[in-house]
Structure 1
């Protein structure tokens, strides 16, 4: 057992030594993949939200609604998605406006700002979005559900409520955790890169 612990200690020490000896250029290459993946994911989120606006607006334009509640509900949904899309776009600009290979220190500052904005997005701003979306859907359902049988009404309301709860709890927490870990790891990499550049100067 002692031999195994000794081997494990040597392995950990060797691994740590290798990590420390990675050059700033190599770390920049690794960080480039992570940054590009983060930018791509951010852009896909924005595109998805924009497509949602067009999908809801298409329902509004091509279907004939009589109730003022339905029109009000759809307008609230479109407005809340549009506002959230603008917020996502502003977040995306923070990490896309600086070339990290030219100045890692400025990009590191932007990355920390992005981390703060994402925290606000998933905590304070998310609840405004969820409440506005739920209010819009509730108003939209006033006219839609009256034409359906009671059991279908219950099914639609149950699925909608369940989806909102699922997104607000399990999915939201998983996304926050993954996002937090990814950004923290990237910040750590850029701090190490900045430190290595300072040492070489």
Structure 2
């Protein structure tokens, strides 16, 4: 009777096997997350590099006269370069995720990526949008000054509306999508970790 009261439930819990399909599914989700994140990073690099090259081509080909236009071009390219420099720091974190890691290592990597994504989505994205807006407005001034008041107003109005639409609608949706993906993975790894600790 005394022996029945000394059952070590903790030891029994540790000996139970976690269902393999769940772990395989989780590792598959991590692999998909990594591939999607790397693909997104490379696409962003290509797009921003191509945009910068196009802006430099426009600068060289059309030879703007006003200093405001040149400052606007520099602001725009600088905003993209700084954003991409910080964004590319995530590349090493994504590449560090591999199938040989323990659950705890996966969890730590995902939490680190989440923190870096939050920095990108808040401070860096704010800097990027402000610098981009200032750069585009300065760039457009030379050409808008040659237009009628109505034309210049429409040009600035449409451009600023597009930027506001991006800031208040597209950006929050992308942030929520990214956060949902990484939060889902973190929750699953925490569940697995909790199972081992009980």
The TM tier, using the shorter chain, reads 0.7 to 0.9
Supply the distance in 1 between the matched residues of 2:193 and 2:53 (Cα, whole angstroms): 43
1:103 matched to 2:108:
no
In the TM superposition, 1:39-188 aligns within 5 A as 39-96=38-95, 98-104=96-102, 105-188=104-187
Supply the distance in 1 between the matched residues of 2:26 and 2:157 (Cα, whole angstroms): 49
Which structure is larger by alpha-carbon Rg, 1 or 2? 2
Supply the distance in 2 between the matched residues of 1:190 and 1:45 (Cα, whole angstroms): 29
- Structure 2: 5+ residue stretches without partners: 1-17
Question: What is the CA deviation profile of residues 118-177 of structure 1, one whole-angstrom value per residue up to 9, with x for unaligned ones?
Answer: 111111221111111111112112211122233221111011110111111111111111
Moved more, 62-71 or 103-112: 103-112
- Give, in angstroms, the shift of residue 38 of structure 1: 2.4
Aligned length: 179
Question: What is the CA deviation profile of residues 162-197 of structure 1, one whole-angstrom value per residue up to 9, with x for unaligned ones?
Answer: 01111111111111111100111122334456667x
With over 3 angstroms needed to count, the CA separation of the structure-2 counterparts of 1:66 and 1:188, relative to structure 1, is same
- Give, in angstroms, the shift of residue 46 of structure 1: 2.3
Q: Which residue of 2 aligns with 1:5?
A: none
With over 3 angstroms needed to count, the CA separation of the structure-2 counterparts of 1:158 and 1:94, relative to structure 1, is same
With over 3 angstroms needed to count, the CA separation of the structure-2 counterparts of 1:181 and 1:134, relative to structure 1, is same
With over 3 angstroms needed to count, the CA separation of the structure-2 counterparts of 1:191 and 1:40, relative to structure 1, is farther
In the TM superposition, 1:8-47 aligns within 5 A as 22-47=21-46
Supply the distance in 2 between the matched residues of 1:47 and 1:109 (Cα, whole angstroms): 29
- Give, in angstroms, the shift of residue 23 of structure 1: 4.3
Q: Please tell me whether the aligned partners of residues 80 and 133 of structure 1 are also in contact (alpha carbons under 8 angstroms).
A: yes
- Give, in angstroms, the shift of residue 70 of structure 1: 0.7
Q: Runs of 4+ in structure 1 displaced over 6 angstroms? A: none
Supply the distance in 1 between the matched residues of 2:37 and 2:97 (Cα, whole angstroms): 14
- Give, in angstroms, the shift of residue 77 of structure 1: 0.7
Q: TM-score, normalised by structure 1?
A: 0.79
RMSD value, Cα: 2.3
